[in-house]
Structure 1
Amino acid sequence: MLARLVLGTSGRAALGSVEPALGGLKSIWRCSQAFCSTPKGVTYRELKSLLNSKDIMLIDVRNTLEILEQGKIPGSINIPLDEVGEALQMNPVDFKEKYCQVKPSKSDRLVFSCLAGVRSKKAMDTAISLGFNSAQHYAGGWKEWVTYEISEEKQES
Structure 2
Amino acid sequence: MVLQRLLLGSARQAILGSAEVAFWGLKSIKGSYHNFCTAECKDVTYTELKSLLKSKKIMLIDVRETWEILEYGKIPGSVNIPLDDVGKALQMSPKDFKEKYNEVKPSQSDSLVFSCLAGVRSKKALNTAVSLGFNSAQHYAGGWKEWATYEFSEKKQGN
TM-score (norm 1): 0.78
In structure 2, list runs of 5 or more residues that go unmatched: 1-27
Measure, in 1, the Cα distance between the counterparts of 2:37 and 2:113: 18
In structure 2, the residue matched to 1:109 is 111
Report deviation, 1:151: 1.5
Aligned equivalents of 1:81, 1:43: Cα separation in 2:
21
Q: Structure 1: which 5+ residue stretches go unaligned? A: 1-27
Q: Which residue of the partner structure matches residue 80 of structure 1?
A: 82
Q: Deviations over 1:62-102 (max 9, x none)?
A: 01001000000000010000000000000000000000000
In the alignment, what sits opposite 1:139? 141
Take 2:37 and 2:92, find their aligned partners in 1: how far apart are those partners? Answer: 30
AA matched with 1:120: S
Query: After TM superposition, where is structure 1 displaced by more than 6 Å over at least 4 residues in a row?
Result: none
Counterpart CA distance in 2 for 1:75 and 1:129 is 25
What SS does the corresponding residue of 1:37 show, helix, strand or coil?
Answer: helix
Distance 1:87 1:36 in 2: 23
Between the aligned partners of 2:115 and 2:105, the Cα distance in structure 1 is 17
Partner amino acid, structure 1, of 2:36? F
> What displacement does 1:36 show?
4.1
Output the TM-score relative to the length of structure 2. 0.77
Between the aligned residues of both structures, percent identity stands at: 75
1:56 aligns with 58
| Counterpart-to-counterpart distance in 1, 2:35 and 2:63 | 29
The 2-side partners of 1:49 and 1:116 are apart by 20
- More helix per residue: 1 or 2? 2
